[in-house]
Amino acid sequence: MRIRAITFDLDDTLWPIAPVMLRAEQRLDAWLRAHCPRAAAAYPVEAMRALRDRIADENPHIAHDFSAQRRLSLRAALLAHGYGDDHVDAAFTAFYAERNRIEYYADALPALDRLRALYPLAAITNGNADLDAIGLAPYFHFSLRAGAFGTAKPAAEIFHAACARLGLAPDEVLHVGDDPELDVIGAHRAGLRSVWLHRGNATWTEASAQSEVRPDLTVRDLGELVDALGDAPEADARASPR
């Protein structure tokens, strides 16, 4: 592979997302109990989660925008109990601050340190993580979030937009992610090279129903990716992100 840039998924690629979301939901619940007790009583964590899922199902036009889904669910919960939009904004702020408090996989930062010295890096995520808030922005030339972009992976458009900003053809860009459908198959269909970062024991055949598509590379952690890519690309082959 002649790779000139690398794009990364974020959630469950650089950090595990389940504990992050649980802490964010618990932080939201604590905030609601302190500031909006009537809504908190009606919507403890499990009920708030069910409300958010229902709101997402009822609003497929914002399926790509998790922040919009969260705000809409908070509005439904709070306004019905006599609280205003200022409470909705403050509740979302409390939730979102905790959502951006993550704990990296042990291999993530060492690998990013090595890779950013060799390649331009960018993020492509369906989630709503804020790299500035997390402190990860210096590693990346840019981040494309589905909510802001308007389309989510596995749609080719978001991959192609990243390639355009990098000033590269799709087959010169390597996308790294944990999700077989969203990351590997999406990248493949958009013409990018792909890495399946799989920290478990399942084989590709067990993980994906798309037997005709396979990742260019499968790794158990990002250290394996660095080792597999080897030395830096030639200096005149490096991209200048636009």
Mean pLDDT of 173-177: 98
Whether residue 95 is predicted with pLDDT greater than 90 in this model: the reply is yes
**φ, ψ of residue 118 in degrees (nearest 5):** -110, -30
Q: What is the 8-class DSSP label of residue 124? A: E
Mean pLDDT of 23-50: 98
CATH topology of domain 17-99: Four Helix Bundle (Hemerythrin (Met), subunit A) (1.20.120)
Which contacts (CB < 8 Å, 24+ apart) does range 237-241 have? 237/2, 237/4, 238/4, 238/119, 238/120, 239/4, 239/5, 239/120, 239/166, 239/167, 239/168, 239/172, 240/120, 240/167, 241/5, 241/120, 241/122, 241/141, 241/142, 241/165, 241/166, 241/167
Q: Give residue limits of the domains in the chain.
A: 5-16+103-237, 17-99
Q: To the nearest whole percent, how much of the chain has pLDDT over 90?
A: 88
Q: To the nearest whole percent, how much of the chain has pLDDT over 70?
A: 94
Asked whether 186 and 197 are in contact (CB, 8 A), the reply is: no
Residue 206 pLDDT grade (very low, low, confident, very high; cuts 50, 70, 90): confident
Residue 237 pLDDT grade (very low, low, confident, very high; cuts 50, 70, 90): very low
Q: Catalytic amino acids? A: 9
Whether residue 26 is predicted with pLDDT greater than 90 in this model: the reply is yes
Residue 203 pLDDT grade (very low, low, confident, very high; cuts 50, 70, 90): confident
Whether residue 235 is predicted with pLDDT greater than 50 in this model: the reply is no
Q: What is the pLDDT of residue 2?
A: 86
Asked whether 194 and 188 are in contact (CB, 8 A), the reply is: yes
Residue 183 pLDDT grade (very low, low, confident, very high; cuts 50, 70, 90): very high
Residue 232 pLDDT grade (very low, low, confident, very high; cuts 50, 70, 90): low
Residue 238 pLDDT grade (very low, low, confident, very high; cuts 50, 70, 90): very low
Residue 242 pLDDT grade (very low, low, confident, very high; cuts 50, 70, 90): very low
Whether residue 109 is predicted with pLDDT greater than 90 in this model: the reply is yes
Residue 205 pLDDT grade (very low, low, confident, very high; cuts 50, 70, 90): confident
Q: What is the pLDDT of residue 155?
A: 98
Q: Could you report the per-residue pLDDT of 117-156, keeping only the tens digit for each?
A: 999 999 999 999 999 999 999 999 999 999 999 999 999 9
Residue (of 170, 187, 169, 190) closest to 178 by Cα position: 187
**Which class in CATH covers the domain with range 5-16+103-237?**
alpha beta
Q: What is the pLDDT of residue 210?
A: 67
